Amino acid sequence: MNKIDDYDPQSMTVDEACKVINRHLKPVNGTMRVPLHSALNRFLAEDILSPIDVPAHVNAAMDGYAVRFADLAASGETELTISATVLAGAALPPPLGPGKAIRIMTGAAVPENADTVVMQEQTRHEGDRVWIAPGQHNGQHVRMAGEDLHQGATAVRPGKRLRAAELGLIASLGIGEVSVFRPLRVAFFSTGDELASIGRPLADGQIYDSNRYTLHGMLTAQGFECFDLGVVRDHPVAIENAFEEAARMADVVITSGGVSVGEADFIKPLLARMGEVVFWKIAMKPGRPLAYGHLGPCHFFGLPGNPVAVMVTFYAFVRDALLTLAGADPLPVVPRFTVQTTTPLKKAPGRTEFQRGIVSQNAQGEWTVRSTGNQGSGILRSMAEANCFIVLPQEGGSVAAGAEVEIQLFEGLI
Ligand code: AMP
Ligand code: MG
């Protein structure tokens, strides 16, 4: 693994830090074959080529009549004889003779010589006679064989996250099993003498450890395999043991807490001896301190302790890095949108801020965003109430109500 570049630790921007980290990332090796039902959210490790034309036959896109366009009168109604009825799934009907129509249902194979489907609503019939309204277009309502995918064409490329649409597409090819990257293994622990685990009463000066739960949630939601190693005391031997245990079982080790000045003092030499690490002061809020490095073959992320900072640094740096390690190509991007803020937003220039916002639709149907209020990096409630980040760029200062700001939604369709 390359040495981590020696960047000025005082002046890293979010983008610079992402670029440095990105240079160290290669997808895990290790793939597995899984049935489609178990493949949701995984990253495809093979090319899926279509073994067939999809759809396999020329077929009707509407319920109605399959006709020969040349039979239709240029103006006025056309009278044709109904020669057969064909339902979806039925065998290929016989070729269509001149002056004939075939009653056809959506998805049913269009017979040879028929080139046009007339929707039922533009016809009337009596016995075996049908009258076609004027104004039809040559080739309308016919789905061509292979118009979705031609035989031999690439349907899904390696690195694609398999969502519902990909599962359906692969199923439409008759393929029931795929090769995916094995899940990324991520071990994490919290550091801090003040932390109590759930189930124990709080002693004086203690708080409950929440970071392991947000990390568990953020990691599991991405489909990673998590190993929660609990709370580790602020003690070099305890931390060294935890690092060793974590590095044995995982591809990535994440810690929270103890990366601010002073407390980091014993983590830094430990990591320098056991692996390699850089501590950065990122120009961002919340989440200024951040450590990145290697513990043997493992990637290491040392996140700040403050609960909101953990989530923000995870989304700003760790998410994309882990997705790359897990095999994602291209990275599933979380788009940003510009909307008006209805509340003023306080900010100092010189750092990117990830404020918490609530985006909603006003009475006029426009989407606007408002602040969740207190933006302290320990106020986890601000994350729970929010449905988006308001991303304020590094150079800018405070923002007045009514100004346009960039937001990034927490929620997607999947
Ligand atoms: P640190 O980065 O260790 O200096 O911690 C910064 C702040 O985050 C302190 O107020 C800690 O008590 C708090 N903190 C650290 N770890 C956790 C955790 N796992 N859960 C909740 N709060 C934490
Ligand atoms: Mg601490």
Reading the block at residue 366, the tokens are 């426009």
Q: What is the pLDDT of residues 156-180, one digit of tens each?
A: 999 999 999 999 999 999 999 999 9
Ligand 1 centre and the CA of 213: distance in Å? 13
Q: Based on the number of CB atoms within 10 Å of its own CB, is 280 exposed (0-12), middle (13-18) or buried (19 or more)? A: buried
Helix/strand number for the chain, H first, E second: 8, 26
Q: What is the pLDDT of residues 318-376, one digit of tens each?
A: 999 999 999 999 999 899 999 999 999 999 999 999 999 999 999 999 999 999 999 99
- In order, the DSSP letters of 106-122 are TTPBPPTT--EEEEGGG
C-beta of residue 321 within 8 angstroms of C-beta of residue 25: yes
Confidence of residue 5 (pLDDT cuts 50, 70, 90): low
Q: What is the pLDDT of residues 96-127, one digit of tens each?
A: 999 999 999 999 999 999 999 999 999 999 99
Mean pLDDT to the nearest integer, 124-142 = 97
Ligand 2 centre and the CA of 349: distance in Å? 28
Average pLDDT over the chain, rounded to whole? 94
Residue 318 DSSP class: I
Q: What is the pLDDT of residues 50-62, one digit of tens each?
A: 999 999 999 999 9
Distances (CA, A) of 11 to 82, 195, 259, 279: 78, 31, 17, 11
Reading the block at residue 231, the tokens are 């709370």
User: In this predicted structure, what is the pLDDT of residue 289?
Assistant: 86
Which helix (H) or strand (E) element contains residue 167? Answer: helix 164-172
List ligand 1's pocket residues with C-beta within 6 A: 190, 192, 194-195, 207, 209-211, 256-260, 263, 304-307, 378
Which helix (H) or strand (E) element contains residue 215? Answer: helix 211-221
Nearest C-alpha to atom 20 of ligand 1 is from which residue? 209
Nearest C-alpha to atom 5 of ligand 1 is from which residue? 305
CA angle 346, 208, 383 (to 5 degrees): 30
Ligand with the closest atom to the CA of 303: 1
Please tell me the distance from the alpha carbon of residue 298 to that of residue 281, in angstroms, as a whole number.
Answer: 22
Ligand 2 centre and the CA of 207: distance in Å? 11
Please tell me the distance from the alpha carbon of residue 273 to that of residue 394, in angstroms, as a whole number.
Answer: 35
Counting from 1 in the atom list of ligand 1, the atom nearest the Cα of 234 is: 3
C-beta of residue 365 within 8 angstroms of C-beta of residue 358: no
Q: 310: left (phi > 0), else alpha (psi -120 to 50), else beta?
A: alpha
SS3 22: helix
Choosing from 212, 256, 303 the residue with most ligand 1 atoms within 8 A of its CB, the one to mutate for a pocket test is 256
User: In this predicted structure, what is the pLDDT of residue 272?
Assistant: 84
Counting from 1 in the atom list of ligand 1, the atom nearest the Cα of 258 is: 3
Ligand 1 centre and the CA of 257: distance in Å? 5
Mean pLDDT to the nearest integer, 269-286 = 88
Q: Which residue has the tokens 């049913």?
A: 108
User: In this predicted structure, what is the pLDDT of residue 125?
Assistant: 96
Please tell me the distance from the alpha carbon of residue 89 to that of residue 94, in angstroms, as a whole number.
Answer: 15
Report long-range pairs for 167-171 (Cβ below 8 Å, ≥24 apart).
Answer: 167/36, 167/39, 167/40, 170/36, 170/48, 171/36
Do the strands 78-86 and 129-132 form a parallel or antiparallel pair, or are they unpaired? antiparallel
CB atoms under 10 Å from CB of 208, counted, come to 14
User: In this predicted structure, what is the pLDDT of residue 268?
Assistant: 76
Ligand 1 centre and the CA of 305: distance in Å? 4
Q: Based on the number of CB atoms within 10 Å of its own CB, is 225 exposed (0-12), middle (13-18) or buried (19 or more)? A: middle
Q: 296: left (phi > 0), else alpha (psi -120 to 50), else beta?
A: left
Q: What is the pLDDT of residues 237-267, one digit of tens each?
A: 999 999 999 999 999 999 999 887 776 667 7
Distances (CA, A) of 72 to 102, 116, 254, 384: 14, 10, 71, 63
Distances (CA, A) of 378 to 207, 224, 315, 363: 12, 26, 16, 33
Distances (CA, A) of 53 to 117, 147, 148: 21, 8, 8
Residue 71 DSSP class: G
pTM over 0.95: no
